[in-house]
Amino acid sequence: MPTRIAVLASRVGADEKRLFDAFDRRGVKFDHVDTRGQWFVAGRRDLAWDLVLNREIGQVRAAYAARCLASAGAEVVNSADATEVCGDKWRTTLAFEAAGVPTPRTAIGLTPDAALAALDSIGYPALIKPLVGSWGRLVVRLPDRATAEGVFEYVAALPGPQSHLGYVQELIDKPGRDIRAIVVGGDLLGAVYRTGDSLRTNVALGGRTHPCETTPEITKLSIDAAAAVGADIAGVDLIEDHDGRLLVLEVNHRVEFAGFQAALGDRVDVADHIVGHLLERAER
């Protein structure tokens, strides 16, 4: 029997529509599954799908859906492990360190006071980032200790133990841009520069994209970073320091590629590459 494919997404945006079109162009039938109405019974394996593309935007739902689907016998791309690692910045950092992928100096404080001590070691200026989050939200620049003390006084008052963990990182003096690369099935599709009017260059926050020549270094770092977190489909964010050295910031397991596609145009069709990779996985 042909492989039964599902696309998991509670929000259908421009990227999901491109993926749906790519399936249709290839004549591949698929089901769009809205996670907001999806439920699972423990131990039940009679799923309607064999292969699932996980495009769920909510990190918790994406991770639990991947676990449930995998336990019921479906192959999920990206895997539950990759989704969980990419969704947690500290776990991503540990994966990079274990694989020898260069990344900015980073520390985690288990309390706000410990995070302040970690910052004294890293030095200022620095950044504090939420452990879970996307689009650059809640990333705060800390120019000095006085500012950090004010931020962590607020952090200490937040509810929930995870909120009190301080993920802090050195601030890289970048040349007004960073790099987004997309890796599918272990191959680099291309890269773009992202520029913006603030610290954050995310396209979702108004960042602009421009073509970036894919050097051997960009290619290797992007592929290595995706492999380090176990992601088949990955958006890899890189940054250049003032000496031109490349560092990897993070890997996105649910890569948004509208800005990437707009910058590169007809040179690459991201959605078609993703669908092609799924079909290759289905044939194994």
pLDDT of residue 271 exceeding 80, the answer is: yes
Q: Note whether 244 and 279 are same-domain residues.
A: yes
Average pLDDT of the chain to the nearest whole number: 93
> pLDDT higher for 249 or 208?
249
Angle between the N-to-C axes of helices 145-156 and 112-122, in degrees from 0 to 180, rounded to the nearest 10: 160
* 98 lies in some domain: no
* CA 237/CA 99 separation, integer angstroms: 16
Inter-residue contact 231 to 86 (CB < 8 Å): yes
Model confidence pLDDT, tens digit, residues 57-68: 999 999 999 999
Inter-residue contact 10 to 35 (CB < 8 Å): yes
CATH code of 247's domain: 3.30.470.20
* CA 8/CA 3 separation, integer angstroms: 16
pLDDT of residue 133: 77
* 94 lies in some domain: no
Inter-residue contact 209 to 192 (CB < 8 Å): yes
Q: Note whether 78 and 143 are same-domain residues.
A: no
- The β-bridge partners of 166 are 109
- At residue 136 the predicted structure's pLDDT band, cuts being 50, 70 and 90, is confident
Model confidence pLDDT, tens digit, residues 107-117: 999 999 999 99
* 93 lies in some domain: no
Domain count for the chain: 3
* 100 lies in some domain: no
pLDDT of residue 155: 87
CATH code of 153's domain: 3.30.1490.20
Residue 148 structural domain? 105-170
pLDDT of residue 210 exceeding 60, the answer is: yes
- At residue 206 the predicted structure's pLDDT band, cuts being 50, 70 and 90, is low
Inter-residue contact 180 to 136 (CB < 8 Å): no
Inter-residue contact 226 to 183 (CB < 8 Å): yes
Q: Note whether 183 and 162 are same-domain residues.
A: no
**Dihedral sign, CA of 258, 261, 265, 268?**
negative
Q: Note whether 254 and 188 are same-domain residues.
A: yes
pLDDT of residue 102: 98
pLDDT of residue 199: 56
pTM: 0.91
Q: Note whether 137 and 190 are same-domain residues.
A: no
How far is residue 236 CA from its own chain's centroid?
A: 7
User: Shortest CA distance to 51 belongs to which of 70, 35, 37, 38?
Assistant: 70
Average pLDDT over residues 172-182: 92
How far is residue 246 CA from its own chain's centroid?
A: 18
- At residue 158 the predicted structure's pLDDT band, cuts being 50, 70 and 90, is confident
* 96 lies in some domain: no
- The β-bridge partners of 5 are 51
CATH code of 23's domain: 3.40.50.20
pLDDT of residue 146: 96
